[in-house]
């Protein structure tokens, strides 16, 4: 136990790739929390996907001990790492709520970016002391002076307060630790009050059950104590209380202001929600929960189906397993006339969706087929009933609909000013509504818009990147639901409506998009033994039609007799392609077709 005056809880916030993880490693190394060798080993057993995508997915919390140069006293520094992607904004906000201060890391070659500001706003909302760190000053292209000025102009922190650092070379590490002790306030909270601890993250451990990452706000908690989770109402005995060093280190207790973990013995993370308050059972109903708890809400939905129908039970099992460790993953069984038995899944955002799909394929060896992502629409029926629909094929028929509302996002884009025109075009084509243009410096601007989430998830990010040669950065947050003039577009293949291809579109764009989609499908659906018409229809009105011509020759006819290996190769290749095909009626449709809407802008 450490007295509150000698505890500092802080986190690192940054735009992706500005060096958050590298800086965290340096701090751990400098304080002797881990050795260089351990760091390498530790990096190796991080989640594969995390490493490959170069992003932090899971928040971590590590306790360091450091003797201050200022007063010669030893401090307990708890570093809470936050996820780096906007999909996980809620998790970020809970991690911030466990801290009193934040290191705001900014790349000296890039300056302030969209997520620098988004994270800063979250940190300010959480009332944190901000310590700006200008990182990567070792690079020849670093412009620390310019970035410091930006910090002063945009964020309003005097440039003298910036710490210059190179996380790679270890420059500035000690200055940062000293600044944490000096500028981050000691944790408040009442040691005499009954226990209240904030759950800011969790993971599942096969031996100890769910490990909840907690910040003790008031009172203390102890191993073997019985506790209650306020939001879920579940009770459990704490199997172990301790801290991360960086491995789990049992301590027997956590006192006011401390950050650490409790092993709960819960079998799934849903029993122990991020944002929940841990209390003693005697105080249930008599004590106020810590602010900010929010049940997870899926924003993006897609159908996931096994390519082989027989794999359905395996897919269910894999989803069940993933869910143990991921409270944000939602799913329920659904059936599609085109794809058979599968699951409708809800995700926090596109990255979350991508991660789940990749894990199903890699870790569970499943061949899956995913439909295009959709958002949740709020539909008011003529009778006054309001329903939420996240699968376009569930949309009631026109006659029964009074009004449809869709989720809109607040979007901010940082870009060199020379791209303003092309970004405006892109946003207009995505039904965006312009809000503001702010000059950050002579040649960089911050553009803000409102944009329907449905447009944002379809090819927006890729287009933004390609139109700006990768220079623009994007951030978004949920704003509200607004009524829109939306219609459902059905796709018929060989005169059969394929439910998994149905789309909700804005009326004005429906005709054009219907045409583009039908054209795309024609190029994706392989020739069959017969002619296959592809139609787009709104209600009973066909708005576009293309035809996949009948196959003329057998593939094997191309091979000269006797060339066995070539023939086998061709057959194998065909088989490979087929694995991702679905028979719909009498037509084979490949996986890409179900995602075609994502790439309508491309050739």
Ligand X SMILES: Nc1nc2c(ncn2[C@@H]2O[C@H](COP(=O)(O)OP(=O)(O)OP(=O)(O)O)[C@@H](O)[C@H]2O)c(=O)[nH]1
User: In angstroms, rounded to a whole number, what is the distance separating the alpha carbons of residues 437 and 424?
Assistant: 11
279 is in an annotated binding site: no
Report the residue number, 142 or 366, with the smaller CB distance to ligand X: 142
393 is in an annotated binding site: no
User: In angstroms, rounded to a whole number, what is the distance separating the alpha carbons of residues 375 and 482?
Assistant: 13
19 is in an annotated binding site: yes
Report the residue number, 17 or 394, with the smaller CB distance to ligand X: 17
578 is in an annotated binding site: no
Residues 83-86: contacts with CB under 8 Å, at least 24 apart: 83/55, 83/56, 83/57, 83/58, 83/59, 84/14, 84/16, 84/20, 84/55, 84/56, 84/115, 85/16, 85/55, 85/56, 85/57, 85/349, 85/351, 86/115, 86/118, 86/349, 86/475, 86/476, 86/477
Q: How far is the CB of 135 from ligand X (least distance, A)?
A: 5
Report the residue number, 86 or 544, with the smaller CB distance to ligand X: 86
Q: How far is the CB of 20 from ligand X (least distance, A)?
A: 3
Report the residue number, 399 or 470, with the smaller CB distance to ligand X: 470
Q: How far is the CB of 28 from ligand X (least distance, A)?
A: 13
Determine contact, residues 109/136, Cβ cutoff 8 Å.
yes
Q: How far is the CB of 189 from ligand X (least distance, A)?
A: 29
Q: How far is the CB of 8 from ligand X (least distance, A)?
A: 21
Q: How far is the CB of 198 from ligand X (least distance, A)?
A: 23
Helix (H/G/I), strand (E/B), else coil: 23: helix
DSSP 219: S
Tokens of 515: 């045409």
Q: What are phi and psi of 524, to 5 degrees?
A: -95, -30
Determine contact, residues 439/445, Cβ cutoff 8 Å.
yes
Q: How far is the CB of 164 from ligand X (least distance, A)?
A: 10
User: In angstroms, rounded to a whole number, what is the distance separating the alpha carbons of residues 349 and 371?
Assistant: 15
Nearest to 296 by CA among 453, 481, 91: 91
Q: How far is the CB of 130 from ligand X (least distance, A)?
A: 17
Q: What is the dihedral of CA 91, 93, 98, 99, to 10 degrees?
A: 130
Report the residue number, 109 or 357, with the smaller CB distance to ligand X: 109
Report the residue number, 20 or 344, with the smaller CB distance to ligand X: 20
Report the residue number, 21 or 264, with the smaller CB distance to ligand X: 21
135 is in an annotated binding site: yes
Residue nearest to ligand X (CB): 84
Report the residue number, 58 or 378, with the smaller CB distance to ligand X: 58
Binding residues for ligand X, per CB under 6 A?
A: 14, 16-22, 54-56, 84, 135-136, 138-139, 166-168
85 is in an annotated binding site: no
Q: What is the dihedral of CA 205, 210, 216, 218, to 10 degrees?
A: -160
Q: What are phi and psi of 283, to 5 degrees?
A: -100, 5
538 is in an annotated binding site: no
156 is in an annotated binding site: no
Binding residues: 17-22, 135-138
Binding residues for GTP: 17-22, 135-138
């Amino acid at each position: 136990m450490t007295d509150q005056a000698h505890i500092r809880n802080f986190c690192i916030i940054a735009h992706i790739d500005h060096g958050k993880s590298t800086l965290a490693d340096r701090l751990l190394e400098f304080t002797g929390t881990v050795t260089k060798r351990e760091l390498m080993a530790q990096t190796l057993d991080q989640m594969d996907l995390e490493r490959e995508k170069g992003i932090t997915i899971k928040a971590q919390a590590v306790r360091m001990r450091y003797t201050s140069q200022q007063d010669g006293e030893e401090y307990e520094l708890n570093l809470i790492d936050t996820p780096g992607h906007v999909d996980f904004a809620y998790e970020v906000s809970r991690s911030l709520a466990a801290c009193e201060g934040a290191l705001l890391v900014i790349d000296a070659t890039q300056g302030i970016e969209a997520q620098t500001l988004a994270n800063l706003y979250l940190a300010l909302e959480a009332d944190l002391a901000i310590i700006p760190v200008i990182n990567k000053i070792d690079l020849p292209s670093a412009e620390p002076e310019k970035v410091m000025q930006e910090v002063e102009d945009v964020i309003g922190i005097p440039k003298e307060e910036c710490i210059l650092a190179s996380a790679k070379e270890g420059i500035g590490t000690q200055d940062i630790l000293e600044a944490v002790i000096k500028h981050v306030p000691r944790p408040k909270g009442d040691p005499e009050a009954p226990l209240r601890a904030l759950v800011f993250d969790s993971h599942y451990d096969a031996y100890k059950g769910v490990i909840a990452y907690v910040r003790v706000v008031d009172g203390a908690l102890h191993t073997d104590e019985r506790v209650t989770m306020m939001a879920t109402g579940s009770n459990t005995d704490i199997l172990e209380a301790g801290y991360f060093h960086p491995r789990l280190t049992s301590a027997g207790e956590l006192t006011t202001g401390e950050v650490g973990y409790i092993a709960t013995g819960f079998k799934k993370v849903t029993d122990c929600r991020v944002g929940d308050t841990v209390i003693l059972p005697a105080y249930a109903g008599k004590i106020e929960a810590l602010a900010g708890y929010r049940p997870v809400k899926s924003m993006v939905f897609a159908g996931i189906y096994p390519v082989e129908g027989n794999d359905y039970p395996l897919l269910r099992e894999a989803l069940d397993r993933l869910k143990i460790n991921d409270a944000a993953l939602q799913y329920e069984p659904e059936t599609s006339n085109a794809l058979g038995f599968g699951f409708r899944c809800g995700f926090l955002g596109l990255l979350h969706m991508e991660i789940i799909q990749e894990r199903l394929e890699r870790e569970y060896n499943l061949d899956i087929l995913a439909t295009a992502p959709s958002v949740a629409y709020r539909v008011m029926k003529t009778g006054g009933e309001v329903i939420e629909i996240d699968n376009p094929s569930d949309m009631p028929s026109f006659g029964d609909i009074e009004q449809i509302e869709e989720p809109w996002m607040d979007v901010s884009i940082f870009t060199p000013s020379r791209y303003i025109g092309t970004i405006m075009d892109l946003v207009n084509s995505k039904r965006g509504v312009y809000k503001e243009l702010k000059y950050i410096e002579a040649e960089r601007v911050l553009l803000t818009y409102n944009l329907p989430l449905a447009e944002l998830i379809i090819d927006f990010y890729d287009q933004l990147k390609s139109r700006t040669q990768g220079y623009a950065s994007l951030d978004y947050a949920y704003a509200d639901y607004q009524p829109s003039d939306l219609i459902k577009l059905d796709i018929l293949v060989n005169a059969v409506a394929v439910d998994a291809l149905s789309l909700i579109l804005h009326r004005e764009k429906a005709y054009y998009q219907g045409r583009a989609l039908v054209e795309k499908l024609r190029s994706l659906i392989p020739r069959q033994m017969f002619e296959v018409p592809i139609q787009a229809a709104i209600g009973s009105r066909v708005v576009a039609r293309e035809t996949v011509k009948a196959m003329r020759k057998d593939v094997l006819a191309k091979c000269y007799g006797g060339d066995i290996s070539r023939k086998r190769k061709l057959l194998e290749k065909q088989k490979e392609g087929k694995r991702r095909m679905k028979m719909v009626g009498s037509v084979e449709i490949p996986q890409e077709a179900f995602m075609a809407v994502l790439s309508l802008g491309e050739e």
